[in-house]
Amino acid sequence: MECEKDSLLDKLLLGEYVKGIQDELLALDIEYFKICGKCGERDICTYLNVVVDQYQCRLRVLSTSISLPANTIVDDQVFSLFKYSNSIKRTGDTINFYISREHLVGVYYMYCSGNTVKWLTHAPVDYEEVLELSDLE
């Protein structure tokens, strides 16, 4: 089954990666997952939702997270992360900025412009985690 893809997938340069894992997602009946990689030296993850009904499949981008070391100097880019994040969490020596769907393309290009994003891994996530991090419509 071919899934209808969110137009944001291509804007985030995720279209080919998702195409490669789509069969796995459908076979394992994964509803929420994240794709993570590197944008320069920064870690980036994008959270997605797979909706499958009897006749069709849809992939929808929910949010993006950018992770920075806790000792990062606050410059204009980091200040923008504070401004556009809907949630900020510290885990150990890392601060995770979660950006809602509304702002993620702008933040993505601000941080990843000039860098080739290397999408490396994907993993299922719990609905509770997605609810906490995303503005679900």
pLDDT at 40: 79
- Answer whether 50's CB lies under 8 Å from 31's CB: yes
User: 115 — phi, psi (to 5°)?
Assistant: -115, 145
The tens place of each residue's pLDDT in the chain, 137 residues long, gives 778 889 999 888 888 888 888 888 888 888 999 999 998 778 999 999 998 888 888 999 999 999 999 999 988 888 989 999 998 999 899 999 999 889 989 998 888 877 778 899 999 998 887 777 755 44
**CA neighbours within 13 Å on the CB side: how many for 67?**
12
Domain residue ranges in the chain: 4-133
